[in-house]
């Protein structure tokens, strides 16, 4: 894993490798959950060029992709803090803020009675509550409200689901998330890789989030980045976990599960080394094509774009380079990458 981090940090294709790993890890997260999402569909969905209506699984995979990018653009330890978890899970405790934070605005008694008795009073109250939650989330995201103040907010039960059809009163996600965060001091006192395995095992056992269970692997990668083990990119944990047999990663014995998670990180690092070698070789071959070209040639930029995506289409190249689709096809023919669909129309190219 340290060798992979050093290779990515010093390689000319390091940025492309880091961006490609987002796509493969998002597809791997759905694979571990028992759903199949094609990386090609995820790439097209990311640029709003879907060939068909996106499925529910594809939408979830795109959420994983966006979460990985958000974690990567933040501070190394941001995702493991209260503000980071609140942003990633979009679940903030609802309730009254601390006294003295804001003064109530005086409202005329007649106007207040008219609003309360109006035909849209309930709908307006729901809109006001939604705006308050959104503003609270934005304040934490922009740093106007500290994480300590976010914790001080007293959670309250929501009345959006009185019948319990969408939620479970016995499944307290905030309490479970707090229980998982209590394992972080133990993980920080251990070596980074072992601490990451401890964190993911606790995530699998506690199951803090029912609809975002895939977030555990991303937090493991964030832990490795915060500890300095893999700082050059966000480690693709799910890419290695899907190579481990289901019986081992879901075993009843805790030691077996920890060994499976450690093996997943090892397999992910090995796969990453092979990927960086493949991208480096492809970069060298493409450089031979545009060596000696004029300084304003679009081929170097096209090479960087190809290395940053699992696959590209003529429309994607045309949009990225701001050229015509015919010009994109001419550049693809000049740079000499492999066509991966075998079709005569709606073709795509990539590095296999």
The verdict on 215 and 252 lying in the same domain is yes
For residue 71, is it within any domain? yes
Reduce the secondary structure of the chain to three states and give it as a string: CHHHHHHHHHCCCHHHHHHHHHHHHHHHHHHHCCCCCCHHHHHHHHCCCCCCCCCHHHHHHHHHHHHHHHHHHCCCCCCCCHHHHHHHHCCCCCCCCCCCCCCCCCCCHHHHHHHHCCCCHHHHHHHHHHHHHHHHHHHHHHCCCCHHHHHHCCCCCCCCCCCCCCCCCCCCHHHHHHHHHCCHHHHHCCCHHHHHHHHHHHHHHHCCCCCCCCHHHHHHHHHHHHCCCCCCCCCCHHHHHCCCCHHHHCCCCHHHHHHHHHHHHHHHHHHHHHHHHHHHHHHHHHHHHHCCCCCCCCHHHHHHHHHCCCCEEHHHHHHHHCCCHHHHHHHHHHHCCEECCCCCCCCEEECC
The verdict on 270 and 302 lying in the same domain is no
The verdict on 186 and 326 lying in the same domain is no
Q: What is the pLDDT of residue 166?
A: 54
For residue 89, is it within any domain? no
The verdict on 304 and 253 lying in the same domain is no
The whole domain housing 195 covers 2-76+171-275
Successive 10-residue mean pLDDT values, the chain, 352 residues: 92 93 95 93 92 91 95 93 88 36 44 53 78 77 58 45 54 87 94 95 92 93 94 94 93 94 95 94 89 83 92 92 92 88 82 82
The verdict on 271 and 177 lying in the same domain is yes
Q: What is the pLDDT of residue 327?
A: 92
Q: What is the pLDDT of residue 132?
A: 81
The verdict on 258 and 341 lying in the same domain is no
For residue 286, is it within any domain? no
For residue 164, is it within any domain? no
The verdict on 337 and 302 lying in the same domain is yes
The verdict on 67 and 215 lying in the same domain is yes
At 338, which CATH number?
Answer: 1.10.10
The verdict on 260 and 299 lying in the same domain is no
Q: What is the pLDDT of residue 98?
A: 34
For residue 162, is it within any domain? no
For residue 280, is it within any domain? no
Total structural domains within the chain: 2
pTM (two decimals)? 0.77
The verdict on 62 and 178 lying in the same domain is yes
For residue 145, is it within any domain? no
Q: What is the pLDDT of residue 118?
A: 59
For residue 311, is it within any domain? yes
The verdict on 271 and 341 lying in the same domain is no
The verdict on 258 and 297 lying in the same domain is no
């Amino acid at each position: 894993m340290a060798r992979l981090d050093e290779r990515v940090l010093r390689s000319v294709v390091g940025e492309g490798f880091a961006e490609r790993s987002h796509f493969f890890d998002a597809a791997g997260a759905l694979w571990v959950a028992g759903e199949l999402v094609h990386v090609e569909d995820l790439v097209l969905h990311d640029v709003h060029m879907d060939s068909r209506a996106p499925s529910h699984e594809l939408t979830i995979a795109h959420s994983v992709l966006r979460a990985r990018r958000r974690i990567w653009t933040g501070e190394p330890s941001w995702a493991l803090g209260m503000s980071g978890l609140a942003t990633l899970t979009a679940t903030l405790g609802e309730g009254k803020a601390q006294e003295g934070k804001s003064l109530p605005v005086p409202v005329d008694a007649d106007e207040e009675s008219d609003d309360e008795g109006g035909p849209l009073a309930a709908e307006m109250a729901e809109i006001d509550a939604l705006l308050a939650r959104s503003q609270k989330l934005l304040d934490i995201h922009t740093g106007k409200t500290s994480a300590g103040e976010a914790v001080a907010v007293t959670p309250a039960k929501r009345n959006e689901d009185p019948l319990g059809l969408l939620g479970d009163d016995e499944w307290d996600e905030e309490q479970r998330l707090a229980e998982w965060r209590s394992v972080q001091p133990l993980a920080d006192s251990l070596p980074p890789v072992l601490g990451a395995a401890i964190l993911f095992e606790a995530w699998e056992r506690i199951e803090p989030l029912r609809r975002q269970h895939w977030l555990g692997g991303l937090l493991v990668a964030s832990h490795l980045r915060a500890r300095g083990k893999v700082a050059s990119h966000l480690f693709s944990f799910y890419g290695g976990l899907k190579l481990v047999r289901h019986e081992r990663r879901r075993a009843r014995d805790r030691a077996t599960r920890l060994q499976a998670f450690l093996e997943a990180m090892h397999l992910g690092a090995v796969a990453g080394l092979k990927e960086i070698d493949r991208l480096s070789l492809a970069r060298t071959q493409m450089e031979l094509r545009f060596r000696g070209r004029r300084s304003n040639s679009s081929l170097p930029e096209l090479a960087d774009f190809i290395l940053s995506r699992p696959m590209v289409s003529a429309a994607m190249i045309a949009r990225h380079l701001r050229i015509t689709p015919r010009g994109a096809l001419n550049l693809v023919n000049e740079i000499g990458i492999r066509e991966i669909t075998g079709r005569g129309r709606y073709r795509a190219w990539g590095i296999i």
